[in-house]
Amino acid sequence: MKWESLTHKKRTLDVLKSLPAALVSNLDDWFAVELTYTSNAIEGNTLTRRETAVVIEKGLTVGGKSMREHLEAANHARALEFVRTRAERKPAIITARDILTIHGLILKGIDDDNAGAYRSVPVRIAGSSVVLPNPRKVPVLMDEFEAWLGTRNKLHPAAFASEAHYRFVSIHPFVDGNGRAARLLMNLLLLQRGYPPAIIPKKDRLAYIGALEKAQLGGAKDDYERIVYKAVDRSLDIYLKAVRGEAAFGSDDDSDELLKIGELAKAAGQTVPTIRYWTHEGLLDVAEVTESGYTMYGREMTARCELIKKLKAQRLTLAEIKTRMK
């Protein structure tokens, strides 16, 4: 893996890095939502990116979602705050206590008995043949891992963060929350070395899990390292675009939530002019208009189109349809 190409982008960023405080705040907020959304989605949380933002930025609840899913979002955001603070604090060497703190925040209110505590029972990864360490070995393995974190090795910072993530999940020290803790640990190590946090997109979930399993079963780590490399590279690009005043924000997973007008028309079996007309008449809600001028709709508008179609088939007027939909 050519980790050194990341160094070049990092140096370019260091030279250019003079961001207004407001933009830094916006970037931090964006990464907080994106990291929380993607990390939880990898573990099966069904909150969309937009719903995740509502939970962690506004403290609101989302209908149809479980309390656990809400707590997972809020907890991850708090754990990320700790990670950001810890990255700037001395001593620089990350300890097992730091990891236990991260885990305690992840499971707070979800499983308080196991939050911030090593597992005392055997665990398995669902659908995987990977054999994880006996719980009695976990404290010793974590002591060894802590010692390794404190070594002055010659690995590239991103390679070191990637390896730390891999070693940690292979120990699997907790009953639950290992994946989220591993990704936060990886990002803590990246932040300490001046790199932006790495986001593993939801769309890469299966490839990411499969690559980890392949390595844990004795195969090469190339696929796994490539995923981490791409994640770090993408985050560097986001910051570089921000520094240069270019459009920087955008989620790899936005396509899972928002549709362009043509995509909505196709999904709903309608024409683009019809979608435009229904939008103009207030029958369809616009989620956002992008900087490029694209009108974006939530996927729930597909069902709304079906409802409008059914009501029109009953020969209702637009006014009557609006009343029914209210």
User: pLDDT 10s digit of each residue in the chain, 326 long?
Assistant: 789 999 999 998 888 767 677 777 888 899 999 999 999 999 999 999 989 999 999 999 999 899 999 999 999 999 999 999 999 998 889 999 999 999 999 999 999 999 999 999 999 988 889 999 999 999 999 999 999 999 877 899 999 999 999 999 999 999 999 999 999 999 999 999 999 999 999 889 999 999 999 999 999 999 999 999 999 999 999 988 887 766 556 655 544 567 889 989 998 999 999 999 999 988 998 877 776 778 888 777 888 898 898 889 998 988 888 887 65
Q: Which residue has the tokens 């699997």?
A: 172
Same domain for 117 and 70: yes
Domain shared by 130 and 107, yes or no: yes
**CB-based contact 225:1 (threshold 8 Å):** yes
Domain boundary among 211, 243, 275: 243
On whether residue 251 sits in a domain, the answer given is no
Same domain, 44 and 153: yes
Tell me: do 211 and 264 sit in the same domain: no
In angstroms, what CA-CA distances link 38 with 34, 180, 298, 322? 6, 10, 18, 36
CA atoms of 220 and 153, how far apart (whole Å): 21
Q: Are strands 295-298 and 258-260 parallel, antiparallel or unpaired?
A: antiparallel
Instruction: Name the residue type at position 35.
Output: L
Decide if 250 is inside a domain: no
Set 103, 156, 165, 172: catalytic member: 172
Q: How many CA atoms does the CB half-sphere of 186 hold within 13 Å?
A: 28
Residue 176 is predicted with a pLDDT of 97
Same domain? For 292 and 232 the reply is: no
pLDDT at res. 253? 53
Residue 135 lies in a domain: yes
Domain boundary among 243, 268, 287: 243
275 is written with which tokens? 């979608």
- Look-up: residue for tokens 């399993």? 213
- Judged by phi (left if over 0) then psi (alpha if -120 to 50, else beta), residue 128 lies in beta
> Which tokens is 72 given?
């997972």
Task: Judge whether 185 and 102 are in contact, CB under 8 Å.
Answer: yes
Shared domain for 134 and 213, answered yes or no, is: yes
What per-residue confidence (pLDDT) applies to 98?
Answer: 98
- How many structural domains does the chain have? 2
DSSP-derived 3-state class of residue 17:
coil
For residue 170, what are its two tokens? 């292979």
Q: Evaluate whether residue 249 is within a structural domain.
A: no
Q: Are 188 and 293 members of one domain? A: no
Cβ–Cβ < 8 Å for 40, 56: no
Q: Tell me, yes or no, whether 36 lies in a domain.
A: yes
Tell me what pLDDT residue 252 has: 52
Q: Which CATH number does the domain housing residue 17 bear? A: 1.10.3290.10
Confirm whether 172 is a catalytic residue.
yes
Q: What DSSP character marks residue 204?
A: G
How many whole angstroms separate alpha carbon 238 and alpha carbon 250? 9
Is residue 224 located within the same domain as residue 266?
Answer: no
Per-residue model confidence (pLDDT) at position 242 = 81
Domain boundary among 243, 274, 289: 243
Is residue 191 domain-shared with residue 290, that is, in the same domain? no
Tokens of 107: 């499971």
Query: What integer pLDDT is reported at residue 254 of this predicted model?
Result: 47
Q: Are residues 184 and 269 in the same domain?
A: no
Q: Do 150 and 283 share a domain, yes or no? A: no
Q: Does residue 262 share a domain with residue 238?
A: no
> Helices (DSSP H) in the chain: which residue ranges?
4-16, 21-42, 49-58, 67-87, 96-106, 138-149, 157-171, 178-192, 205-216, 222-243, 261-268, 272-280, 300-313, 318-325
Residue 252 included in any domain: no
278: Cβ contacts below 8 Å, ≥ 6 apart: 284, 305, 308
| Residue 266 maps to a domain | yes
Residue 212 counted as domain residue: yes
Radius of gyration of the chain (CA): 23
* pLDDT number for residue 191: 97
Bridge partners (DSSP) listed for residue 297: 259
CATH number for 289: 1.10.1660.10
Residue 75, domain extent = 4-243
Q: How far apart are CA 60 and CA 201, in angstroms?
A: 24
